[in-house]
């Protein structure tokens, strides 16, 4: 991690991407944020010190996030250049002619002139039989069109966002990304405890006795331990919560450190278990990235 952001009540360290841009190591995830509550949560998060917000066209709440950001900018609480806004190209916009369309829809909803990072949400095109890597010419055209306002926009693989937590430690993938200079962001860092498709008997990280023991030793919550575990592995983390006290609590992970023994214990939890396998959407797509045993 690099130096901290100017983040109000608490400084959040940054991770430097391969193009020298700096992304806060902790951000606010917005997937499954309830409609009507997202705007207030984002405003609270900005006041609390968050500067990194992870969004997506698919989440259908970019307009609320945009409202919150614009209000805080107008109040003088934050400047646009202080924020790191990430959103994602949805699967229906993978064709070359549609990449810019998807980009502009998100930009308009977020009420922004530029994005700090634009990701491909999933490596699977809908409404077409595109290859897993879609058509990069669409992104190149987007870069060309946005060059004046986005001098740092690049089609280089800067960051990979994947599910990562103690039950899915992603060690091989992390090693590969590090060798290629690709930063990694962890979604569902708490194991997505509120996922609507959860089945009885599936593991719950927040209730794991060993996690609870480690948390008690550090006078922290289990969620803080899970976030800290990823931060110490140089992984960018985007926990989501619509509860202000949890949003604030999740930030307080930079004032303690897990020991090597504690890190090793948590790493031993790996069982290659996915909380979000995307199976409910497209298990038979030719570019579906996960191995399934159906």
Task: Choose, from 59, 118, 167, 288, the residue flagged as catalytic.
Answer: 59
Q: Helix 62-75 and helix 38-48: axis angle, to 10°? A: 40
Q: Please tell me the distance from the alpha carbon of residue 46 to that of residue 51, in angstroms, as a whole number.
A: 6
Assign 224 to helix, strand or coil. helix
Find the farthest-apart pair of alpha carbons in the chain and give their distance in angstroms, rounded. 55
288 tagged catalytic: no
Q: Please tell me the distance from the alpha carbon of residue 184 to that of residue 207, in angstroms, as a whole number.
A: 26
Q: Please tell me the distance from the alpha carbon of residue 107 to that of residue 66, in angstroms, as a whole number.
A: 9
Assign 66 to helix, strand or coil. helix
Asked whether the beta carbons of 143 and 154 are under 8 A apart, the reply is yes
Is 121 assigned a ligand-binding role in the annotation? yes
Specify the long-range contacts of residues 220-224, CB closer than 8 Å, at least 24 apart.
Answer: 220/252, 220/253, 220/256, 221/249, 223/190, 223/249, 223/250, 224/249, 224/250, 224/252, 224/253
- The whole-angstrom distance between residue 87's C-alpha and the CA centroid of its chain comes to 9
Could you list the residues known to form a binding site for substrate, using ranges: 121
Active site residues: 59
Summarize the annotated binding site as residue ranges.
Answer: 121
């Amino acid at each position: 991690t690099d130096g901290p952001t100017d983040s109000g009540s608490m400084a959040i360290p940054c991770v430097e991407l391969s193009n020298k841009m700096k992304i806060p190591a902790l951000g606010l995830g917005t997937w499954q944020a309830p409609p009507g509550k997202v705007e207030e949560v984002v405003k609270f998060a900005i006041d609390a010190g968050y500067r990194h917000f992870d969004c997506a066209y698919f989440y259908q709440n970019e307009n609320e996030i945009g409202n919150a950001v614009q209000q805080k900018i107008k109040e003088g609480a934050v400047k646009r250049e202080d924020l790191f806004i990430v959103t994602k190209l949805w699967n229906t916009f993978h064709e070359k002619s549609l990449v810019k369309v998807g980009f502009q829809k998100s930009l308009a909803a977020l009420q922004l002139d530029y994005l700090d990072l634009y990701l491909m949400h999933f490596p699977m095109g809908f409404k077409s039989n595109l290859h897993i890597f879609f058509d990069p010419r669409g992104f190149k055209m987007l870069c060309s069109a946005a060059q004046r306002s986005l001098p740092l926009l690049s089609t280089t693989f800067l960051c990979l966002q994947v599910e990562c937590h103690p039950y899915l430690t992603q060690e091989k993938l992390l090693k590969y990304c590090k060798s290629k200079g690709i930063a990694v962001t962890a979604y569902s860092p708490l194991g997505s405890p509120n996922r609507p498709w959860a089945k009885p008997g599936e593991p719950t990280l927040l209730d794991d006795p060993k996690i609870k023991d480690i948390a008690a030793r550090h006078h922290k919550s289990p969620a803080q331990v899970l976030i800290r575990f990823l931060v110490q592995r140089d992984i960018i983390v985007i926990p989501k919560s619509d509860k202000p006290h949890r949003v604030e609590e999740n930030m307080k992970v930079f004032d303690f450190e897990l020991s090597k023994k504690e890190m090793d214990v948590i790493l031993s939890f790996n069982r290659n278990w996915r909380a979000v396998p995307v199976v409910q959407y497209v298990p038979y797509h030719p570019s579906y990235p996960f191995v399934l045993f159906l």
